[in-house]
Amino acid sequence: MQKKRIPNIYDVAKTSGVSISTISRVLNAPDKVNPETRRRVISAIDKLGFIPKAEARAHAMKNTNRIGVLTPYFTAPSFVQRLRGVVAALSKANYELVIYPVDSVEHLQAYTSSIPIMRNIDGLIIMSLAIEEKDALRLHDNSMETVLIEYAHPRLNNISIDDVQGGHLVAKHLIEKGHTRVAFLGDIEPPERYAIHPVKSRLQGFKETLASADISLQKKYIVQASYSQDESRQAAYHLLTLSKPPTAIFAASDIQAASVMKVARQLKIRIPEDMAVIGFDDIDMADHMDITTIRQNLDESGRLAAEILLSRIAEPSRPLQHIRLPLTLIERLTT
């Protein structure tokens, strides 16, 4: 019992007595072939269990039915939720998703310089990454369809939110709740060149609205903390053990809000009675933990990115899209 080879299009041609062109046609343009021959071919296909090799197809057609996502920290909840949206849109369209995790500038550069030329994907979504001008141009010049999330470039599609307005919303809410001694915890000095700085804008908006209500955000109430758990906790600890701790903390992300809450629990500080906490993003966990937060529709941003990409791949002449997604405050139990 010899192992039979995986059949190729020539095998099908042989057993159905037509040329390979016809096989290809019944697969890709069935209406262009006589119903009778089509039947014969199909039965041969079924009999042999023929499935066209994806690589060969991609090679001949110069498209891969695959799109890529370039992302840092791809396992952070907010990124995952974006990815969820991307996947939702892609699987409908029968596109595959390949993930390129980025953890250094070199990494990012390597990707942006090789991807458009290697041509192993049809389109690219770049999440929360600052790309250099020359890389953006390379993508554009080599006509690699791209959509940027949380970053913008005039020649590429992009989807973003108004972080400053996000800061406004938070401040407004806290003011309404009667807080006057508030603090901010977030990653305002990202050291990596490739990362972006939405957090600074959130802080800016926060400050602005506070100022307009004559509330000053003192320096000592602004603490730097990277996305990492350790740093967030230390920063939270610092804030919560000040001689005159704030009555409300705006954490620049829900994850960090959760860290604040964890530290508060250790210090027996009740939330929201003793201290209010508000996050940003509205990741799934925020609901689980009843964290008041600013919702940016993460799933939607991913879905939209994918849809824009697919539509431009299908029809490259369509205009560029620069989309700004709305933000809403979701009040739960921590403020």
Closest among 329, 238, 332, 248 to 285, alpha carbons compared: 332
Binding to its own copies (CB under 8 A): which residues in 219-258? 229, 255, 258
Sign of CA dihedral 99, 103, 105, 106: negative
- How far, in Å, CA of 78 to CA of 50, rounded? 41
Choose the one of its own copies, DNA, none that binds residue 8, judging by a C-beta under 5 to 8 angstroms depending on kind: DNA
Per-residue contact track with DNA, 34 to 73, x per CB under 7 A?
xxxxx-----------x-xx--xx-xxxx-----------
CB of 110 to DNA, least distance (A): 18
Q: Which is nearer to its own copies, 77 or 123 (CB)?
A: 77
From the CB of 169, what's the least distance to DNA, in Å?
49
Can you tell me which of 16, 22, 146, 259 binds its own copies, judged by CB under 8 A? 259
Q: Residue 193 to residues 79, 106, 129, 131: CA-CA distances in angstroms?
A: 19, 10, 9, 9
Residue 141 binds which one of DNA, its own copies, none, with CB within 5 to 8 A depending on kind?
its own copies
The continuous run of DSSP H or E covering 251 comes out as: strand 248-251
- The CA distance from 18 to 40, in Å, is 9
For residues 203 and 255, which CB has a smaller minimum distance to its own copies in the complex?
Answer: 255
- Give strand pairing partners of 183: 249
Binding mask of the shown chain, residues 145 to 184, with x at each position contacting its own copies by CB under 8 A = ----------------------------------------
The minimum distance between CB 30 and its own copies, in angstroms, equals 19
Asked if residue 253 lies in contact with residue 230, where contact means CB atoms within 8 angstroms, the answer is no
Q: Pick between residue 32 and residue 193 the one whose CB is nearest to DNA.
A: 32
The yes or no reply on residue 142 touching its own copies (CB under 8 A) is yes
Shortest spacing between CB 24 and DNA, in angstroms: 3
Contacts of its own copies in 1-30 (CB under 8 A) = 3, 6
Buried b (16+ CB within 10 A) or exposed e, 281-315: bbbbbbeebebbbbbbbbbbbbbbbbbbbbebbee
Q: Are 332 and 286 in contact (CB under 8 A)?
A: yes
Residues interacting with DNA, by CB under 7 A? 8-10, 17-25, 27-29, 31-38, 50, 52-53, 56-57, 59-62
